[in-house]
A = this chain, B = another copy of it.
Amino acid sequence: MVVQRAPQGQLTDDEVDRIFRALADRTRRDIVRRTLVGEVSVSALARSYAMSFAAVQKHVAVLEGAGLVTKLPHGRERLVRGNPEAIVRAQVLLDQFEALWRDRVARLDALLAEDPPPTST
């Protein structure tokens, strides 16, 4: 899968879409957890879930497309390794959302701290 990576640490909308989309499935979240702890082959992963090897393969592909996971060849198997940097990228996004809200709160606070406004209370 050819994945467009953003040039300058900036994430494109498509990339953000892929990251959250990839995390919106419990099997994929589980795969991320397991491969963050240590490298696991695709077949080893497949044995853990009540679905076909091909299905797990697809999940890994989705995660790889989102940059949440990388696959490294090791003999005849592919070791899947979770990518903590992608997690951090997602965290940054949520931090930005939270910052917006904090700004609003700050503005409201500033407003209340002002001299009593001309409008009636």
Interface residues of chain A, those whose CB is within 8 Å of chain B, are 13, 16-21, 23-26, 29, 32-33, 36-38, 82, 84, 87-88, 90-91, 94-95, 97-98, 100-101, 103-104
Please give, as numbers and ranges, the residues of chain B lying within 8 Å of A100 by CB-CB distance: 33, 36-37, 82
Chain multiplicity (copies): 2
> Max chain B CB contacts within 10 Å: which of A25, A29, A95, A101?
A101
B26 pairs with A13, CB closer than 8 A: yes
* Contact of A24 (CB < 8 Å), options: B20, B29, B82: B20
Q: Which residue of B lies closest to A84 (CB)?
A: B101
- A97 vs B13: C-alpha distance when bound (angstroms): 22
CB-CB under 8 A from A23, the residues of chain B are: 20
